[in-house]
Amino acid sequence: MPGFEVFGEEEKKQIYDVLETGVLFRYEFGEQRKGIHKVLEFERDFAKYCGAGYAQAVTSGTAALKVAMAALGVGPGDEVITQGFTFVATWEAILDIGAIPVFTEVDETLNMDPEDLKKKITDKTRCIIPVHMLGAMARIEEIVEIAASRDIAVLEDTAQAAGGTINGRHLGTFGDCGTFSFDSVKTMTTGEGGMIITSDEKMWRNMSEYHDHGHDHVVNPGGRGGEGRSFIGFNYRMMELQGAMGIAQLAKLNAMIESQRANKKRLKAAAAKIPGVKFRTLVDEQGDTATFFAFMLENREQCRKVNAVLGDNGAGAINFSENSWHFYPSWEHLHNGSTLAASGWPFAEPGGKRRVVYDPELLPESADILSRTLVFPVSIKMSDEQIDTICSALGKAAQAI
Ligand SMILES: *Cc1c(COP(=O)(O)O)cnc(C)c1O
């Protein structure tokens, strides 16, 4: 999964370009920057790579979600639907913008279940955020169709699936916009960083201004100081060192994905020998970024047994129903409404009335699926020895059940 495995001369050269000018800010600094605009160049490269009209760089994948929702007009009084299997960042951003997160089940794609989505839409639904979890695609075409028929925006949280595609079309380009994360453990990384892509020029301009305190960006990059403001914003600006890293990492993304696919193929062949095993449903296997390998057993008991054998043989897998950062029932701070705000916001209104209460038992289908799913992270430079260890542990598990 992590792009740090392939840091090399290309990243050094890019960073060196920035240090030579001494300009870390993406805007201004006229002559001193010697024509170098790394963040801008990264945005253009990224938009082109994805086949999107525009890209807006920001400080993180979480900020990308927030900036995108701001541009979609999301705020208090709105509901935003996402899936109960995602990283906490997805719903943190929804609460932070003042809206209420509503959670759907996941199906065997390990992503949003479109049937459950239909049931969760209300008059208050302003936006739907399917997440392309663990490197692979949600049923995004069905989700976009459901949303379009009700005139609701779709934001694709593509933090874990940069470079993923369906029939050659990039994830993040199906909805109104797509967001990405380049944090330290993502497939391509800038240390911290994020991106939003869209083909809507107006939306991009609004994101560009919002992420930069509302500075008028009629000319982008614009002059600063004398220009006006159309609305309030915030600061989510990416810096030049991150842009420089992004240029070098994006150029390696396809090669990283290729290696992961080759490694994943070997793990899959070994796991296929387990009686009754099923693999995660992939809408388009060709477009999987292969950052993870997920497979399902028949039930929870069998899953535990298999993972015990894997563990005894030096290759324990992740069971996300036991991972507290990615699955709804274990988010105790969400269920308890824990917040630093004295008023209880965002879980309570000023005055103390709860805006929303979550039932930890809300998602039984997801709980069932995740309780019998095992996951191996797939990295770029897995050694033969590492792969052999996992494959031989899978072989032992196949014999044990
Ligand atoms: C990593 C991640 C984010 C947040 O990205 P950061 O850059 O770490 O803020 C959002 N959504 C998902 C699904 C993620 O995996």
Residue 105 dihedral angles phi and psi, to the nearest 5°: -70, 160
Q: Ligand 1: which of 181, 185, 325 to mutate, judged by most atoms within 8 Å of the beta carbon? A: 181
Looking at residues 336-354, what average pLDDT do you find?
95
Residues 119, 104: Cα–Cα separation, whole Å: 9
> What is the residue-averaged pLDDT of the chain?
96
Q: Is 3 in the pocket of ligand 1 (CB under 6 A)?
A: no
Question: Which atom of ligand 1 is least distant from the CA of 160?
Answer: 15
Looking at residues 334-349, what average pLDDT do you find?
96
What are the residue ranges of helices labelled H in 101-230?
A: 114-120, 140-149, 201-210
- From the list 186, 252, 264, 268, the catalytic residue is 186
The closest of 89, 251, 284 to 170, measured between CA atoms, is 284
Residues 180, 306: Cα–Cα separation, whole Å: 34
**pLDDT tens-digit profile of 44-100?**
999 999 999 999 999 999 999 999 999 999 999 999 999 999 999 999 999 999 999
Residues 53, 71: Cα–Cα separation, whole Å: 16
Strand partners, 57: 195
Name the fold adopted by 256-325+364-400. Aspartate Aminotransferase, domain 1 (3.90.1150)
Which ranges in the chain are annotated with CATH 3.90.1150.10?
256-325+364-400
Question: Does the reported pTM lie above 0.95?
Answer: yes
Who has greater pLDDT, 229 or 372? 372
Q: Ligand 1: which of 96, 103, 131, 183 to mutate, judged by most atoms within 8 Å of the beta carbon? A: 183
**pLDDT tens-digit profile of 265-320?**
999 999 999 999 999 999 999 999 999 999 999 999 999 999 999 999 999 999 99
**Sheet hosting strand 153-157, strand order edge to edge:** 54-58, 194-198, 177-181, 153-157, 125-129, 79-83, 100-104
Q: What is the CA radius of gyration of the chain?
A: 22
Strand boundaries in 159-291, DSSP class E: 165-166, 169-170, 177-181, 194-198, 278-279
Tokens 């220009």 belong to residue: 227
Looking at residues 38-48, what average pLDDT do you find?
98
Element (H, E) at 261: helix 240-271
Residues 79, 251: Cα–Cα separation, whole Å: 38
Looking at residues 12-33, what average pLDDT do you find?
96
Gap from CA of 64 to ligand 1 centroid (Å): 9
Q: Is 171 in the pocket of ligand 1 (CB under 6 A)?
A: no
- Quote the DSSP letter at residue 156: E
pLDDT of residue 2: 81
**pLDDT tens-digit profile of 187-236?**
999 999 999 999 999 999 999 999 999 998 876 555 676 678 899 999 99
Q: Is 353 a catalytic residue?
A: no
Which ranges in the chain are annotated with CATH 3.40.640.10?
3-252
Q: Report the CATH number of the 3-252 domain.
A: 3.40.640.10
Looking at residues 160-173, what average pLDDT do you find?
98
